[in-house]
Amino acid sequence: MSKATQNFTAEDLKSLETAADAERAKVLLRAIVEKASTSKYPIKPEKVQALYNNIARARNKNEVVAIGWNMLLVGEGLASVNSKYQKRYA
Q: What is the DSSP string of 15-66?
A: HHHT-SSHHHHHHHHHHHHHHHHTSSSPPPHHHHHHHHHHHHH--SHHHHHH
Query: What rounded mean pLDDT belongs to the chain?
Result: 82
The mean pLDDT of 2-14, rounded to a whole number, is 73
Which residue ranges make up each domain of the chain? Answer: 15-89
Predicted local distance difference test score (pLDDT) of residue 5: 52
pLDDT at 88 over 80: no
User: pTM of this prediction?
Assistant: 0.79
CA 72, CA 66: separation in Å to the nearest integer? 10
Please check the confidence at residue 74 and state whether its pLDDT lies above 80: no
